[in-house]
Amino acid sequence: MQLIDIGVNLTNASFATDRQAVLQRALAAGVAQLVLTGTDLACSEESLALCLELDESAQRLFCTAGFHPHHASDWNADSEGQLKALLQHDRVRAVGECGLDFNRDFSPRPQQESALHAQLALAAQLQRPVFLHERDASERLLGILRDYRDHLPAAVVHCFTGDKQALYRYLDLDLHIGITGWICDERRGTHLHPLMRDIPEGRLMLESDAPWLLPRSLRPKPKNGRNEPAFLPEVLREVALHRGESPEALARHTTACARRFFGLPLATDESCSFIDADQASKD
């Protein structure tokens, strides 16, 4: 089985000392390609740099570039031009992570909406798919998206955790759905179980959102409590169970979906390793 992890926060400090080992474990677990998440300008630039440093030619690492709603207050007059320049690079495959977060409200809601409008307009202009974040804001997100949807090639609601009504409204707007280890959480994720059969093939993708959302059903659990892409097969197993599909069938269509959504090529050499960036810098 081959999987594509569409959301990995590889720039997170918890990965600073062992990124190459994390990627090697992912490859060994069947995660053939990964999309690194950009959450502000610096993070997006670092994600692109990691793609180039750790995966010079194998076509395994790609990334997004955007401003997460938590960082919407950092959006300024220069942000659009800087983001547009990043999005010209071949390894940058989507605009985002962008959206609305009315749960934590780390940025004022008007600034969240303004940054989202700007990024959706840029995605429409460049014809790039959009990687969306939403917490406690589905109605407002839908209201904004409706004005742009006909001009966007595609958009995915990353780490979907909503209810049936929100899911159906996203699907009605022809959005894709990303599922994480949230579905493996017996405390807060069981409402997702009956919804899995309602997501059509071709609209469903899988993601780790590492280092967060370690699947609680994973055995054995890592001592450090950190999630990583190598654990994506546990998300696959849980989603397959509730869709009534084999893991192999689910892997095939979610991987095909992710490859279409992000326009990913096939990895050039299935046996190759990721580059040891520390060693490469010494050489």
Q: Do residues 264 and 60 make contact, with C-beta atoms less than 8 angstroms apart?
A: no
Q: How many domains, in total, are found in the chain?
A: 1
Q: What is the CATH number of the domain that holds 80?
A: 3.20.20.140
> Phi/psi zone of residue 102: left (φ > 0), alpha (ψ -120 to 50 degrees), beta?
alpha
In the predicted model, is pLDDT for residue 12 greater than 70? yes
Where does the pLDDT of residue 273 fall: very low under 50, low under 70, confident under 90, or very high at 90 and above? low
Nearest residue to 156 (alpha-carbon basis) of 64, 39, 249: 64
Average pLDDT over the chain, rounded to an integer: 95
Residues 157-183: tens digit of each pLDDT: 999 999 999 999 999 999 999 999 999
Residue 279 has a pLDDT of: 47
Domain housing 108: 3-282
Residue 50 has a pLDDT of: 98
Residue 269 has a pLDDT of: 64
Over residues 116-140, mean pLDDT: 98
Nearest residue to 228 (alpha-carbon basis) of 242, 197, 207: 207
* Dihedral sign computed on CA atoms, order 138, 94, 160, 12: negative
Residues 26-56: tens digit of each pLDDT: 999 999 999 999 999 999 999 999 999 999 8
Over residues 150-161, mean pLDDT: 98
Over residues 107-134, mean pLDDT: 98
Nearest residue to 15 (alpha-carbon basis) of 30, 36, 1, 33: 36
Nearest residue to 70 (alpha-carbon basis) of 134, 127, 158, 152: 134
Residue 56 has a pLDDT of: 86
Q: DSSP of 16-43, one letter per residue?
A: TTTHHHHHHHHHHTTEEEEEEPP-SHHH
Q: Do residues 137 and 107 make contact, with C-beta atoms less than 8 angstroms apart?
A: no
Residue 281 has a pLDDT of: 44
Where does the pLDDT of residue 283 fall: very low under 50, low under 70, confident under 90, or very high at 90 and above? very low
Asked whether the whole model's pTM tops 0.75, one would answer yes
In the chain, % of residues over pLDDT 90:
93
In the predicted model, is pLDDT for residue 280 greater than 60? no
Residues 259-272: tens digit of each pLDDT: 999 999 998 764 45
